[in-house]
């Protein structure tokens, strides 16, 4: 595997909403050198309370994570599931205490120093994986629809319309339903791979090809500025909160020789 460097950043825009309910962050592993986690949450109900809890729980559990020797995809997936379910429990407990029901989506990604990536999502926030600008993977509701058809015995059409039912909607904080976590992974990452986590206030306005083109040609900061500007333009004053986290794998900088030339002393 060729060496690479990570370029990363987060960005958000309030859109035409009265407040920003999305949250995103990128963390380095406190006890896992070389591991990086990106998380994003879109607050659906109760303001930003649920979204902020996602970041708090994610950082706490990631700080406690000790990978050991070659932890494997499944252990990393378990960590993401634990973040979702612990956050969900705390949100519900806080909701009971405050007599509210805050809810949010979840998108999470872990990249290892061995070139592995594992991601998870709940709800309509998305995780994209691009390779040289081409979309190779994108989260969707497909696995959740299959889950509803299998466990709830719902016909296909009812499962596809789950967003219209509070009993079936897939979010953290839903007191009527446990969140269903969809997992994806990729091994042998390399230069040219890029990941985008974003809320529906962003992805709603772009095709996969457009997102890939912007990420492949620009550093995370410039890419986020371009995407926010274009999303705001296309929303025509009706856009919601727009939030993203970007991680790119790029060539490491060349080593610059660090030495000075000195005149040699006369040999004796």
Structural domain spans, the chain:
5-250
Sort 63 into a burial class: Cβ within 10 Å, 0-12 / 13-18 / 19+.
middle
Dist. CA 85–CA 181, nearest whole Å: 9
Q: Is the pLDDT of residue 267 over 60?
A: no
- Span 200-226, pLDDT tens digits: 999 999 999 999 999 999 999 999 999
In terms of average pLDDT, the best of 94-98, 126-130, 147-151 is 126-130
Residues 6+ apart with CB under 8 A from 127: 107, 108, 109, 119, 120, 121, 137, 138, 139, 184, 195, 196, 197
The answer to whether domain 5-250 has CATH 3.60.40.10 is yes
> Strand order of the sheet with strand 134-138?
5-13, 242-250, 193-198, 126-131, 134-138
Share of the chain above pLDDT 70, in %: 93
**pLDDT at position 145:** 80
The residue-averaged pLDDT of 166-190 equals 92
Q: Encoding tokens for residue 167? A: 């009993």
- What six digits make up the tokens of 126? 């998305």
The Cβ of residue 167 has, within 10 Å, a number of other Cβ atoms equal to 9
Inter-residue contact 247 to 195 (CB < 8 Å): yes
pLDDT of residue 268: 42
pLDDT in the model for residue 264: 47
The three-state DSSP-derived secondary structure of 130-160 is: EECCEEEEECCCHHHHHHHHHHCCCCHHHHH
Mean pLDDT of 56-65: 98
Across the chain, mean pLDDT equals 91
At 211 the three-state DSSP class reads helix
pLDDT of residue 253: 85
- Model confidence at 260: pLDDT above 70: no
* Selection from 245, 263, 242 nearest residue 111 by Cα: 245
8 A C-beta contact, residue 73 and residue 18: no
CA 42 – CA 63 distance, rounded (Å): 23
Least confident of 30-44, 152-166, 179-193: 152-166
**pLDDT confidence tier of residue 28, bands split at 50, 70 and 90:** very high
Cβ-count burial 183-201 (b if 16+ within 10 Å, e if not): bbbbeebebbbbbbbbbbb
pLDDT at 181: 97
> HSE on the CB side for 208, CA within 13 Å?
16
Answer yes or no: is pLDDT of 124 > 50: yes
**In terms of pLDDT, which residue wins out, 118 or 155?**
118
pLDDT tens column, 140-174: 987 888 888 888 777 877 777 777 676 678 999 99
Question: Residue written as tokens 């494997």?
Answer: 72
104 or 149, which is more confident: 104
SS3 237: coil
Give the bridge partners for 37, in sequence order: 27, 110
Percent of the chain's residues with pLDDT above 90: 77
Name the pTM for this structure.
0.90
């Amino acid at each position: 595997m060729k060496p690479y460097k990570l370029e990363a950043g987060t960005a958000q825009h309030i859109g035409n909403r009265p407040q920003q309910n999305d949250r995103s962050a990128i963390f380095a592993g406190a006890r896992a050198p070389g591991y990086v986690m990106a998380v994003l949450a879109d607050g659906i109900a109760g303001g930003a309370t649920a979204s902020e809890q996602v970041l708090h729980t994610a950082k706490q559990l990631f700080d406690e994570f000790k990978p050991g020797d070659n932890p494997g995809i499944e252990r990393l997936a378990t960590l993401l599931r634990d973040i979702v379910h612990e956050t969900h429990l705390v949100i519900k407990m806080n909701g009971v205490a405050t007599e509210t029901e805050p809810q949010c989506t979840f998108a999470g990604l872990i990249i290892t120093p061995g070139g592995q990536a594992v991601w998870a999502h709940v709800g309509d926030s998305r995780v994209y994986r691009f390779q040289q600008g081409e979309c190779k993977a994108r989260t969707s509701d497909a696995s959740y629809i299959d889950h509803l058809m299998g466990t709830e015995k719902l016909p296909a059409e009812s499962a596809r319309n789950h967003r219209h039912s509070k009993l079936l909607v897939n979010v953290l904080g839903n007191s009527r339903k446990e969140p269903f976590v969809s997992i994806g992974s990729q091994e042998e990452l390399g230069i040219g791979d890029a990941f985008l986590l974003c809320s529906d206030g962003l992805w709603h306005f772009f095709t996969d090809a457009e997102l890939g083109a912007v990420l492949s040609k620009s550093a995370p900061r410039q890419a986020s500025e371009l995407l926010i500007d274009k999303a705001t333009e296309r929303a025509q004053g009706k856009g919601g909160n727009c939030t993203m986290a970007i991680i790119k794998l790029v060539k490491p900088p060349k080593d610059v020789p660090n030495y000075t030339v000195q005149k040699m002393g006369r040999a004796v």
